[in-house]
């Protein structure tokens, strides 16, 4: 609904401008009207530009917040996948050595060997999930740097993630008894998880840089 009071006030002000301008410059009413119309159009365009810029700024700010939140979500997923991967890699070697130490040649031994293959298959499946999710992580972070401007630390950290190669799980070939194997398997899983903390450390470093620039 139009604000008629506001329009009436503006109309009165324009009448004053016309009277003053006519008195000072001798311009006609038509000329004054054209100038007033031009000023009004310019003001309308300027107000629309201001609204556009404010809206765009808000949209960019909201998008940055969404990208930071998405980075945290994917970083959490990857951290959990790495724990899962470590478990399968260690169990793969554990079950293989178990098949050699614990009742070899029996049904128990065959069952342990089968579990070795299952752990191996699951480690491949988890690696596939990690590759897909990592590509999503790179996409989100790259969108942020494209939006916010190049960040050398973020780019360097992404390069470190790409080039990092964690060590393989120990094969337990030196273990001589099943009791020692149980202990060694638990220690190995803890140690390998420490190696994979490299990734979560990189994710945290990137997140700090992203939140700095919001």
- Answer for the pair 130, 203: CB distance below 8 angstroms, yes or no: no
**Model confidence at 57, in pLDDT bands (50, 70, 90)?**
low
Rg (CA), the chain: 34
Nearest-angstrom CA–CA distance, 58 and 107: 66
**Residues ≥6 apart with Cβ < 8 Å to 55:** none
In the chain, what are the domain boundaries? 26-61, 70-212
117-159: pLDDT as tens digits: 999 999 999 999 999 999 999 999 999 999 888 899 999 999 9
Regarding predicted confidence, which is higher, 1 or 127?
A: 127
Centre a 10 Å sphere on the Cβ of residue 191 and count the other Cβ atoms it contains. Answer: 14
Half-sphere exposure of 136 (CA within 13 A, CB side): 16
Could you give the CA distance from residue 154 to residue 141 in angstroms, rounded to a whole number? 8
| CB within 8 Å of 1: residues ≥ 6 apart | none
d(CA 163, CA 51): 45
Given a cut of 80, whether residue 5 has pLDDT beyond it is no
DSSP-derived secondary structure letter, 169 = P
pLDDT at 60 over 80: no
- What per-residue confidence (pLDDT) applies to 7? 42
Comparing C-alpha atoms, which of 158, 29, 166, 178 is closest to residue 85?
A: 166
Distance CA 88, CA 79 (A): 15
Q: Does the pLDDT of residue 25 top 80, yes or no? A: no
Give the least confident one: 18-22, 96-100, 145-149, 210-214. 18-22
User: pLDDT tens-digit profile of 183-203?
Assistant: 999 999 999 999 999 999 999
Amino acid 52: pLDDT? 46
pLDDT per residue over 69-124, tens digit each? 999 999 999 999 999 999 999 999 999 999 998 777 788 788 999 999 999 999 99
Q: Is the pLDDT at 16 greater than 80, yes or no? A: no
pLDDT on residue 117: 96
Closest by CA to 167, choosing from 85, 84, 97, is: 85
Mean of all residue pLDDT scores within the chain? 82
| pLDDT-above-90 percentage for the chain | 60
Q: Which residues of 12-36 are buried (b: 16+ CB within 10 A; e: fewer)?
A: eebeeebeebeeeeeeeeeebeeeb
Answer yes or no: pTM beyond 0.85. Answer: no
- Which residue did the predictor score with more confidence, 41 or 135? 135
Buried b (16+ CB within 10 A) or exposed e, 133-151: bbeebeebbebbbeebeeb
């Amino acid at each position: 609904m139009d604000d008629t009071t506001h329009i009436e006030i503006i109309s009165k002000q324009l009448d004053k401008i016309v009277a003053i301008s006519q008195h000072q410059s001798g311009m006609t009413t038509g000329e004054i009207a054209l100038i007033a119309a031009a000023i009004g159009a310019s003001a309308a365009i300027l107000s629309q530009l201001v609204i556009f810029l404010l809206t765009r700024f808000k949209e960019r700010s909201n998008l940055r917040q969404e990208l930071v939140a998405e980075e945290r979500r994917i970083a959490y997923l990857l951290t959990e996948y790495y724990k899962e991967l470590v478990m399968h890699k260690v169990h793969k070697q554990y079950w293989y050595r178990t098949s050699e130490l614990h009742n070899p040649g029996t049904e128990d031994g065959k069952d342990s060997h089968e579990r070795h293959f299952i752990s191996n298959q699951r480690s491949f499946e988890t690696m596939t999930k990690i590759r897909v999710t990592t590509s999503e992580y790179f996409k989100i972070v790259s969108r942020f740097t494209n939006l916010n401007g190049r960040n050398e630390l973020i780019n360097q950290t992404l390069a470190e993630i790409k080039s990092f190669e964690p060590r393989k799980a120990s094969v337990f070939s030196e273990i001589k008894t099943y009791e020692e194997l149980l202990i060694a398997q638990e220690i190995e899983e803890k140690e390998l998880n420490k190696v994979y903390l490299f990734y979560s450390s990189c994710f945290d470093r990137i997140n700090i840089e992203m939140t700095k620039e919001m």
